[in-house]
Amino acid sequence: MKVAVLGAGAIGAYMGAALCRAGVEVHLVARGPHLAALRSNGVRVISPRGDFVAHPHASDDPTDIGPVDHVVLGLKANAYAAAGPLVAPLLHADTSIVAAQNGIPWWYFHGLAGPYEGRRIESVDPEGATSEALPVERAIGCVVYAATEIESPGVVRHLEGTRFSIGEPDGTVSARCTEFAEAMVAGGLKCPVELELRNDIWVKLMGNIAFNPLSALTRATMAGICHHAGTRSVVESMMEETLDVAARVGARPEISIERRIAGAASVGEHKTSTLQDLERGRPLELDVLLPAVIELADLTGAAVPTLRVVAALADLLDRQVSGTQDDALPQHPHAPGGR
């Protein structure tokens, strides 16, 4: 089995190192000092479950790698639409694309029986650009329940969690999912193949849609947001609205709001990825969170007033970070921010 990890950051490098440890032929696509360190020293993983070093091939040019069996996307979701030239050299007729992303994926309605089957979500697939770069028939969904960070170039600190739930958009258990899951497990990770992965997507999204933008707006950690009465109330409202939208598109995430908040609080003084991006002056990954869910709310008739307020504030913040601004009112009621 041959795997390429496109965007070998904290999560991508961690997955790649685990797969390499399982004996998979792994190629990491990275750049800058991180790439130089990967080439010289491999991936060093520091983890409470035991430290290890893996030595996958690393490159900044996918044409050096050629076609693979699975492409793992470790990119930010707002980079997907422009990823076509990077992905194309890695594809053969049966290559899958395993998208380890937060939020609503571009393939969400692909293979989902019901009134919205095949519908494109503009917020995550603007004018079909993402689907063109990443054909939906190649997509394998992946919900990440692991927390990692780049401690220094080539060094990944694993903080908690080892579960990477995957699944086919049509809810089948495919040979390609089984193959990938078995390799992940052999590398020391949990990788259940879920028949209803969209439920996992919404469970994860309940936290991301609230804590990620609020952390950027307040500069607070997850525990800080949970322990402040006012922001905790905002989180509860955002989660209630999110669950309403989920139900209207047929998803049933099996977790209570109280349990979801308690789980977030237990993480402690952790900065969300959005807050980390803000502190580094990077665009914020918001389109797959707030604008996407608001778009689904508009589609299904759900009222999401709290999500709309937070989306407006977060979008303005993102525009300030990226140095862009609008001279007129947005033409779309949930104009996207970037990541």
Q: What is the rounded CA–CA span in Å between residue 197 and residue 169?
A: 8
Express each pLDDT in 137-155 by its tens digit. 999 999 999 989 899 999 9
Which parts of 104-252 are beta strand (E)?
Answer: 139-144, 147-152, 155-160, 164-167
The average pLDDT across 255-284 equals 90
Q: Predicted confidence band at 229 (pLDDT cuts at 50, 70, 90)?
A: very high
One of 2, 76, 190, 204 is an active-site residue; which one?
204
Q: At what angle do helices 290-300 and 229-248 cross, to 10 degrees?
A: 50
pLDDT at 138: 98
The average pLDDT across 166-177 equals 97
The average pLDDT across 47-64 equals 97
Q: At what angle do helices 257-267 and 229-248 cross, to 10 degrees?
A: 130
pLDDT at 324: 64
| Least reliable range by pLDDT among 108-122, 125-139, 302-316, 319-333 | 319-333
Tokens encoding 280: 């580094």
pLDDT at 331: 34
Residue 335 has pLDDT above 50, yes or no: no
Strand partners, 164: 144
pLDDT at 332: 35
Q: What is the DSSP letter of 85?
A: H
pLDDT at 136: 97
The average pLDDT across 107-125 equals 95
The average pLDDT across 3-28 equals 97
The average pLDDT across 102-126 equals 95
Q: What is the rounded CA–CA span in Å between residue 27 and residue 64?
A: 10
CATH number 3.40.50.11540 given to 197-322: no
The CATH code for residues 2-186 is 3.40.50.720
Question: Which single residue is written with the structure tokens 């992905």?
Answer: 87
Which residues are CB-contacts of 122 (< 8 A; sequence separation ≥ 6)?
Answer: 295
Task: Kindly list the distances between the CA atom of residue 22 and the CA atoms of 98, 128, 185, 282, in Å, as whole numbers in the listed order.
Answer: 18, 36, 8, 34
Strand partners, 25: 2
How does the average pLDDT of the chain come out, rounded?
93
| Angle (nearest 5°) at CA 177 between 174 and 182 | 125
Do 198 and 112 contact (CB within 8 A), yes or no? yes
Residue 326 has pLDDT above 70, yes or no: no
204 an active-site residue?
yes
DSSP per position, 179-203:
HHHHHHHHTT-B--B-TTHHHHHHH
pLDDT at 86: 96
Domains of the chain by residue range: 2-186, 197-322
Q: Predicted confidence band at 323 (pLDDT cuts at 50, 70, 90)?
A: confident
Torsion of the alpha carbons at 254, 255, 257 and 263, rounded to the nearest 10: -150
Residue 117 has pLDDT above 70, yes or no: yes
| Least reliable range by pLDDT among 33-47, 220-234, 266-280, 322-336 | 322-336
The average pLDDT across 42-55 equals 97
Do 6 and 90 contact (CB within 8 A), yes or no? yes
pLDDT at 282: 87
pLDDT at 268: 81
Q: Predicted confidence band at 230 (pLDDT cuts at 50, 70, 90)?
A: very high
Residue 334 has pLDDT above 50, yes or no: no
- Taking every pair of Cα atoms in the chain, the longest distance, rounded to a whole number of angstroms, is 55
- What number of CA atoms fall less than 13 Å from residue 234's CA on the CB side? 21
